[in-house]
Amino acid sequence: MLTLATVETGEPEIFASVQGEGASAGRPVAFLRLSRCNLACVWCDTAYTWHFEGDEREHQGGETFDRKANQVKLPVAETAERILALGQDRLVITGGEPLLQAGALADLLELLPDMTFEIETNGTVKAPPRLDIRIDQFNVSPKLRHSGNEAELALIPERLEHYAAEPRAFFKFVIAEPDDVVEVAGLVTEHRIPKERVFLMPEGTDSVTLRNREQWLVDQCLKHGFQLSDRLHIHLFGDTRGT
CATH domain 2-173 topology:
TIM Barrel (3.20.20)
> Is the model's pLDDT at 234 over the cut of 90?
yes
Give tens-digit pLDDT for 121-161.
999 999 999 999 999 999 999 999 999 999 999 999 999 99
Entry pTM: 0.96
Assign 3-class secondary structure to 36-55.
Answer: CCCCCCCCCCCHHHCCECCC
Kindly state the DSSP code that residue 140 receives in the 8-state scheme. Answer: E
Residue 64 near residue 57 (C-beta atoms within 8 A): no
Q: What is the mean pLDDT of the chain?
A: 97
pLDDT of 136 = 98
Residue 96, preceding bond cis, omega within 30 degrees?
yes
**What are the residue ranges spanned by the domains of the chain?**
2-173
CB contact set of 101 (below 8 Å; sequence gap of 6+): 2, 3, 34, 36
Q: Are strands 71-74 and 2-5 parallel, antiparallel or unpaired?
A: antiparallel
Give per-residue pLDDT as tens, 81-99.
999 999 999 999 999 999 9
Pairing outcome for strands 116-121 and 14-18: unpaired
- Between CA 27 and CA 49 the distance in angstroms is 24
CA atoms of 115 and 197, how far apart (whole Å): 23
- Give the separation between CA 194 and CA 192, rounded to whole angstroms: 6
Q: Is the distance from CB of 14 to CB of 82 less than 8 angstroms?
A: yes
Handedness of CA 172, 175, 181, 186 (dihedral sign): negative
Give me the phi and psi of 91, to 5 degrees please. -120, 130
Measured CA to CA, the distance from residue 202 to residue 182 in angstroms comes to 14
Can you tell me the distance from the alpha carbon of 44 to that of 26, in angstroms, rounded to the nearest whole number? 22
Q: 15-60 pLDDT, tens per residue?
A: 999 999 999 999 999 999 999 999 999 999 999 999 999 888 889 9
